[in-house]
């Protein structure tokens, strides 16, 4: 057993329990070499970042952002903190490697046994129906001289953390809507193409094929957008050839964004499906000086309670970094209704869509008549054994000030929580999108289609406005902006019902892009 060091403290938020259904089957091999990501605090000597309220208070025309170089100069990790961490590593036979200064992520490598001793955890192998994983039970421990310096330690527990939020229409005869047709029905601002904008997409498995993308965009009469991929923690663009697997998520995301914002640059960040991969992918995208995305789209997630608090907290601090640099983050709200797939059936929301720094994206069922909208209701196919839009009230994040007048109900535990989602768009696979995945034409939906659709709209808005929207959530709720949305007043997600104004199924509603642009300009 790992020795208990009474002079050490528990790392706040690092408490973990085995996954439901997991069985410990023995200690992780002691000599196995592993890499851990350590998130450090912001430099105590640096100027403090603006608060959420201050970040959201300014209208677009008055907003200014730090560029990435200036952010790195002002807010990188403190050199004294890094030196303290290096001494800790050396004392514990670990190697301090790469440091992402502006992202405050330091890498440590070493043997599993040395990590177990260094952080006071018992690293076990757990068997689980989804596959074996390395993990621990309890909290990570830190020596007193790292108190307050280390904000999170990721990579000791490597359970699969995220699931994709796509749904395939199983009918082989399904045709699906053309993605640009849906964008036109939502009145995306004419004359905009996303030119000059960069959309980052986070992926946690699978990959894309240039041949698939070439076929898809040729069918639409469009050139393939400028697309590049970035490897995070050893993951890469690795198509599996399975059109029902993670390739579907990757290619759906790219095709949705590229079909609506064909002149935007798309950067895909591939990372392992762990909380370490998630934190490192977001950090890489937010602080990427080579590509500088102003929009990050995330179509993966999981129930809030399945995340360690330190991972949710890390997202908040990294997202705040992004807000200061003018980055908008969007996240799918989930495809399993108001329970988010929890086996108990209790109401739950999906993270990261539940973060107050992310625009949560819910789903509707859209029916077109020609190029016009005939009807639009909440997406809910649960009675048919299919999906439904996620949405509800967070039990982890407090109600943000921008939702003060949104009449968000109490969370299931009575907490005054953040309401999810903020916005919506077509997600029902029965009224889904015609895409091309792994050599096959197919029709897909899911809220994972909504996040990149909205990312493309924000790219087009940014092009027209001449600057990024940045932290956009507070821009959406003032009455003059909120009334530009198409309210969804019919339907439910098996926990909450739609209605006028904001609701826990479809948020403010689906977009009228031209009216939204006019409201933001004014």
Question: Are residues 427 and 388 in contact, defined by beta-carbon separation less than 8 angstroms?
Answer: no
**What pLDDT does 342 receive?**
81
Question: Which of 154, 187, 208 is at the close of a domain?
Answer: 154
Q: Which of 114, 253, 335, 512 is catalytic?
A: 253
Return the bridge partners of 163, or none. 301
Q: From first to last of its 522 residues, what are the pLDDT tens digits of the chain?
A: 444 555 789 999 999 999 999 999 999 999 999 999 999 999 887 778 877 778 777 888 889 999 999 999 999 999 999 999 999 999 999 999 988 889 999 999 999 999 999 999 999 999 999 899 999 999 999 999 999 999 999 999 999 999 999 999 999 899 999 999 999 999 999 999 999 999 999 999 999 999 999 999 999 999 999 999 999 999 999 999 999 999 999 999 999 999 999 999 999 999 999 999 999 999 999 999 999 999 999 999 999 999 999 999 999 999 999 999 999 999 999 999 999 988 777 999 999 999 999 999 999 999 999 889 999 999 999 999 889 999 999 999 999 999 999 999 999 999 999 999 999 999 999 999 999 999 999 999 999 999 999 999 999 999 999 999 999 999 999 999 999 999 999 999 999 999 999 999 999 999 999 999 999 998
59 domain-assigned? no
**What pLDDT does 6 receive?**
59
Give yes or no: residues 146 and 167 share one domain: no
Q: Which of 209, 292, 339, 448 is catalytic?
A: 448
Give yes or no: residues 232 and 376 share one domain: yes
Q: Which of 81, 247, 249, 335 is catalytic?
A: 249
C-alpha closest to that of 91 among 118, 59, 56: 118
Question: Are residues 365 and 377 in contact, defined by beta-carbon separation less than 8 angstroms?
Answer: yes
Give me the domain span that covers residue 255: 163-521
Identify the sign of the CA torsion 514, 517, 519, 521.
Answer: negative
**Is 428 among the catalytic positions?**
no
CA 419 to chain CA mean position, Å: 16
71 domain-assigned? no
Give yes or no: residues 304 and 444 share one domain: yes
**Is 448 among the catalytic positions?**
yes
**What pLDDT does 5 receive?**
55
| Count of structural domains within the chain | 2
CA 128 to chain CA mean position, Å: 25
Question: Are residues 475 and 454 in contact, defined by beta-carbon separation less than 8 angstroms?
Answer: no
* Phi, psi (degrees; rounded to nearest 5) at 498: -75, 165
Give yes or no: residues 290 and 146 share one domain: no
Which residues lie below 8 Å from residue 141, measured CB to CB, with a gap of 6+? 5, 8, 9, 10, 11, 119, 120, 121
C-alpha closest to that of 273 among 252, 295, 299: 299
Give yes or no: residues 458 and 327 share one domain: yes
**Is 32 among the catalytic positions?**
no
C-alpha closest to that of 448 among 466, 435, 464: 435
C-alpha closest to that of 355 among 272, 473, 268, 454: 473
* Helix or strand run (H / E) with residue 139: none
Where in 208-335 does DSSP place strands (E)?
A: 227-231, 265-270, 295-298, 300-303, 328-332
Q: Residue 370, class by beta-carbon neighbours within 10 Å (0-12 exposed, 13-18 middle, 19+ buried)?
A: exposed
Q: Round to whole Å and give the CA distance between 163 and 339.
A: 15
Give yes or no: residues 204 and 240 share one domain: yes
134 domain-assigned? yes
Q: Residue 256, class by beta-carbon neighbours within 10 Å (0-12 exposed, 13-18 middle, 19+ buried)?
A: buried
Question: Which of 154, 185, 212 is at the close of a domain?
Answer: 154
> DSSP label at 384?
G
Give yes or no: residues 306 and 386 share one domain: yes
**What pLDDT does 44 receive?**
85
Give yes or no: residues 148 and 167 share one domain: no
Question: Which of 154, 174, 204 is at the close of a domain?
Answer: 154
């Amino acid at each position: 057993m790992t020795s208990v060091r009474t002079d050490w403290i528990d790392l706040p938020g690092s408490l973990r329990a085995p996954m439901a259904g997991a069985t410990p089957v023995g200690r992780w091999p002691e000599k196995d070499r592993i890499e851990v990501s350590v998130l450090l605090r912001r430099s105590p000597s640096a100027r403090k970042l603006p608060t959420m309220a201050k970040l959201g208070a300014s209208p677009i025309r008055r907003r200014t952002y730090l560029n990435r170089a200036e952010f790195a100069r002002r807010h990188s990790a403190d050199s004294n903190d890094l030196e303290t961490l290096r001494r800790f590593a050396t004392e514990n036979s670990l190697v301090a490697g790469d440091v992402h200064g502006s992202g405050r992520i330091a890498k440590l490598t070493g043997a599993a046994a040395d990590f177990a001793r260094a952080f006071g955890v018992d690293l076990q192998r757990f068997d689980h129906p989804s596959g074996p994983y390395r993990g621990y039970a309890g909290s990570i421990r830190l020596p007193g001289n790292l108190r307050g310096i280390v904000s999170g330690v990721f990579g000791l527990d490597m359970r699969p953390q995220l699931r994709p939020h796509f749904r395939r229409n199983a009918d082989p005869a399904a045709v699906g809507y053309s993605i640009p047709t849906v964008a036109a029905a939502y009145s995306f601002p004419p004359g905009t193409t996303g030119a000059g904008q960069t959309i980052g997409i986070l992926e946690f498995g699978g990959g894309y094929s240039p041949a698939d993308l070439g076929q898809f965009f040729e069918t639409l009469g469009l050139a393939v957008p400028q697309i590049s991929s970035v490897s995070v923690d050893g993951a890469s663009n690795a198509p599996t050839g399975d059109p029902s697997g993670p390739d579907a998520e990757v290619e759906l995301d790219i095709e949705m964004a590229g079909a609506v914002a064909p002149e935007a640059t798309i950067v895909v960040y591939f990372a392992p499906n762990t909380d370490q991969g998630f934190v490192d992918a977001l950090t890489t995208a937010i602080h990427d000086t080579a590509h500088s995305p102003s929009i990050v789209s995330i179509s993966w997630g999981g129930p809030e309670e399945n995340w360690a608090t330190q991972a949710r907290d890390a997202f908040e601090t990294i997202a705040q970094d992004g807000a200061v640099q003018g980055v908008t983050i969007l996240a799918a709200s989930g495809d399993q209704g108001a329970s988010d797939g929890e086996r108990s059936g209790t109401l739950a929301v999906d993270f990261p869509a539940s973060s107050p720094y992310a625009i949560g994206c819910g789903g509707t069922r859209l029916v077109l008549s020609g190029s016009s909208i005939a009807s639009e209701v909440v997406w809910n196919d649960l009675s048919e054994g299919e999906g439904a839009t996620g949405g509800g009230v967070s039990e982890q994040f407090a109600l943000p000030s921008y939702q003060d007048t949104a009449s968000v109900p109490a969370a299931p535990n009575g907490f005054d929580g953040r309401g999810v989602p903020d916005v919506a768009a077509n997600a029902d696979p029965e009224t889904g999108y015609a895409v091309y995945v792994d050599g096959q034409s197919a029709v897909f939906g899911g809220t994972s289609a909504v996040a990149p659709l909205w990312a493309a709209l924000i790219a087009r808005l940014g092009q027209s406005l001449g600057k990024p929207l940045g932290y956009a959530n507070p821009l959406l709720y003032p009455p003059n902006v909120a009334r530009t949305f198409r309210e969804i007043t019919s339907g439910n997600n098996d926990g909450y019902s739609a209605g006028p104004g904001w609701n826990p199924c479809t948020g403010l509603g689906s977009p009228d892009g031209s009216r939204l642009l006019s409201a933001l300009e004014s």
